[in-house]
Amino acid sequence: MEKRVTVLAGDGIGKEVTDAAVVVLEAVAKKYGHTFHFDHQLVGGAAVDAKNNPLPEETGASCEASDAILLGAVGGPKWDNNPPALRAEQGLLLLRKQFDLFANLRPVKAVSTLIQSSPLKEDIAKDVDMMIVRELTGGVYFGTPSLYNDEEAVDTMPYSRKEIERIVDKAFEIAMKRNKRITSVDKANVLATSRLWRQIVDEKKAQYPEVEVRHQLVDSVAMSIITSPKDFDVILTENMFGDILSDEASVITGSLGLLPSASIRSDGFGMYEPVHGTAPEIAGQNIANPAAAILSAAMMLTYSFDMLEEAKAIEDAVYGTFEDGHFTGDLTKDNPLGTKEWTEKVLQRLQA
């Protein structure tokens, strides 16, 4: 099979971790007889510096011509005081909107050999395996009108039936392939959009009688993720709540460097990126953890390319490398491996 991938390294450690993911994808292609064409383009702060645009036209054109996007990370203090249109993060928001990447998938899975890195007690953190399904292109982040001045500020939180229905359908589809349990998160006791959300979830529930559905208010879920995270299978939620809850859930694993994500649309096209940020303070030092970027590449094989065997091979190689006792510096102070050296261990397992 032949596929084209636009690689957007972005800023900070983005180049190092996407380089690692590309090397792993090349090894997979060689092992399974595929051809991946990689086109490297600018986005975020790097694009602002080079093109005065967080999403240059040529970057968008490359993405349009590709089968998927592999993203590193965008942003950093260097661009924080720029005008809104020239903020590095604007490139990410524009990509989501331009390509209608409405479904954000964030798996949170505890790794047995890394439980000691979790801030939670071992009996709480072990065996956690949840998927957060977050609506990504609607809600307060994209609402108009908005207003800001020295005296008042206004944000608008719109949601249409169509926007809610398609993310709810995606969550049910994913739940059917997992343990058939959905926790739908809202604030229906306060927000009109949440009441519509809850109504549509109940309507869709009738189409999936095998799936157990419970409604839970966002503040209650925020507590439960820390006190009883094993209770969750699929968490379904709107944009802002999903942003907050997925970052909260990420601490369960002990490192943001372990968590991949996918942002996809209905036809399978998607953008795949690690959950972590740009970490400019360690950029270029060969100490960043590339696991999340590599696992994001595995999600790309699953959700955009339907290469399930190849994706599992990557996941097995990553988790097997941890089981072998090989860690980067964010996970151990005892002889940590560098980014390239840890990636080489993954390659050795993949090629075995």
DSSP string, 26-82: HHHHHHHT-EEEEEEE--THHHHHHHSSSS-HHHHHHHHTSSEEEEEE---GGGTTS
- Catalytic: 243? yes
Could you say which of 100, 141, 180, 316 is catalytic?
Answer: 141
The Cα 8–Cα 167 span in angstroms is 26
Q: d(Cα 299, Cα 114) in Å, to the nearest integer?
A: 21
Under 8 Å between Cβ of 163 and 137: yes
| Cα dihedral value 136, 139, 142, 146, nearest 10 | -160
Catalytic residue among 129, 169, 247, 316: 247
What is the DSSP pairing of strand 260-264 with strand 270-274? antiparallel
Which of 55, 53, 42 minimizes the C-alpha distance to 15? Answer: 42
Asked about 123 being catalytic, the answer comes back as no
C-alpha to C-alpha distance for 264 and 105, rounded to whole angstroms: 8
- Which tokens belong to 204? 């869709």
Known active-site residue 219 = yes
Known catalytic residue at 187: yes
Three-class secondary structure assignment of 209-264 = CCCEEEEEEHHHHHHHHHHCHHHCCEEEECHHHHHHHHHHHHHHHCCHHHCEEEEE
Which amino acid appears at position 134 of this protein? Answer: R
Q: Which of 49, 202, 219, 306 is catalytic?
A: 219
- Do β-strands 153-154 and 147-148 pair in parallel, antiparallel, or remain unpaired? antiparallel
**How distant, in Å, are the alpha carbons of 88, 213, 237, 262, 297 from that of 302?**
29, 25, 22, 10, 9
- Annotated catalytic residue: which of 243, 303, 330, 345? 243
* Neighbouring C-alpha atoms within 13 Å toward the C-beta of 340: 4
Choose, from 78, 187, 205, 230, the residue flagged as catalytic.
187
- 148 part of the active site: no
* Spatial contact of 105 and 261, defined as CB atoms under 8 Å apart: yes
- Residues tagged active-site: 141, 187, 219, 243, 247
